[in-house]
Amino acid sequence: DTEVTQTPKHLVMGMTNKKSLKCEQHMGHRAMYWYKQKAKKPPELMFVYSYEKLSINESVPSRFSPECPNSSLLNLHLHALQPEDSALYLCASSQDRGTYNEQFFGPGTRLTVL
C-alpha cells in the first residue's frame, strides 16, 4: 500500500463549528505532515509529527489542533475557523525525518468556511 488517504474530500463548515480532518497511511512511515494550499499558491507547511510526537509547528493559530493517535493516523481538529482558512488541506508522510526522503501526499480535503 503506497497511498496516503484523506477524509473527507470536501468539507463546508460554519465559523462556530467543530470538525476534524483525517489522514491515514500504511507505508510504515514515521513522519507525517499537514500542509495548507490556497489557490494558485504552493503548499505551506503547518505541522510535522515525527514518531507520533509534534516536532514542527509553523506558528499555526490555535484554532487548528493536530493529533497523532498512532503511527498510521493523523488528525487535524478545526474549531472557530475564519473564512480565510478556506483552502485545500494536504496530508503527507515520509519514511522518517533524519535523512533525504521524499514526502508522499494525499489527495487533500477541500475546506470551505462560511
Which residues touch 59 (CB under 8 Å, ≥6 apart)?
none
The single residue among 18, 28, 55, 61 that binds another protein, judged by CB under 8 A, is: 55
Judged by beta carbon, residue 79 or residue 97, the one nearer another protein is 97
C-alpha 89 chain-centroid distance: 6
Quick check: helix, strand or coil at residue 110?
A: strand
Judged by beta carbon, residue 55 or residue 82, the one nearer another protein is 55
Judged by beta carbon, residue 17 or residue 50, the one nearer another protein is 50
Smallest gap, in angstroms, from Cβ of residue 56 to another protein? 6
**Site size toward another protein, by CB under 8 A:** 32
The single residue among 33, 74, 85, 113 that binds another protein, judged by CB under 8 A, is: 33
Compute the C-alpha angle 88/57/19, nearest 5°: 45
For the chain, helix, strand, coil in percent to 5 are: 5, 55, 40
Q: Does 66 engage in binding with another protein (CB under 8 A)?
A: no
Instruction: Compute CA distances 8 → 28, 75, 76, 97, 109, whole Å.
Output: 22, 11, 12, 27, 6
- Which residues make up the interface to another protein (CB under 8 A)? 4, 6, 31, 33, 40-45, 48, 50, 55-56, 90-92, 94, 96-108, 110
